[in-house]
Amino acid sequence: MIFDFIKKYHRILKKISLKKQFILFIFFLICITLFSQLIFLSFKIKSNLDLGLSIAYYGILGSASLTVLTFTYALVLDYPERIKVISSGKNFFTSTLFFMIGIVCFIITSGEQNNILNIPEIIFDLFNSLTSLFLILLGVILLYASSIYFALGIAGLLNNLIK
């Protein structure tokens, strides 16, 4: 009888923990996606290029700091918890890489394109438009993937710390 109660209680706690982790994941995903879209908009407005670079700088600095702190924290833990924390650190690291590559795609598209090879204007414009479209789509996809990995890292880390 007591063992049945413990098993039921454990299943209920596991369900609550999964719901809590999912809610944390969605919350952080929305926050980080909004942060990424702020950077995207600041790069697309030509007068705010410096603002976009400074926001991106602090985003990269914060994400890289969380990566280093997570791996450092994993060194002091025992074996089962260490694997979970290292998994969160890998998510932060992947998020940082995707974020930096996405920002580079936006920086490339925000610059001036000059026709130095004297290609006919219509071909140059078509090539320029297709390249810019590809880089913008790649940047948006990478920033969204970065948001997903960052939210997974935070949700996993908080779920591991709150136990």
Q: With a threshold of 0.95, does the pTM exceed it?
A: no
**pLDDT by position in tens, the chain (length 163):** 444 544 554 555 455 566 666 777 777 778 777 877 777 777 777 666 777 777 777 878 887 887 887 777 777 777 777 777 778 888 888 888 888 888 888 778 776 777 677 778 788 788 888 888 898 888 888 888 888 888 888 877 777 766 5
Which residues have C-beta within 8 Å of that of residue 66, sequence separation ≥ 6? 92, 153
The domain ranges of the chain are 2-162
* Exposed/middle/buried for residue 81 (C-beta within 10 Å: 0-12, 13-18, 19+): middle
Q: List Cα–Cα distances, 60 to 5, 17, 78, 84, 104, in angstroms.
A: 47, 30, 29, 23, 12
Q: List Cα–Cα distances, 96 to 79, 124, 145, in angstroms.
A: 26, 34, 10
Enclosing H/E stretch for 64: helix 49-75
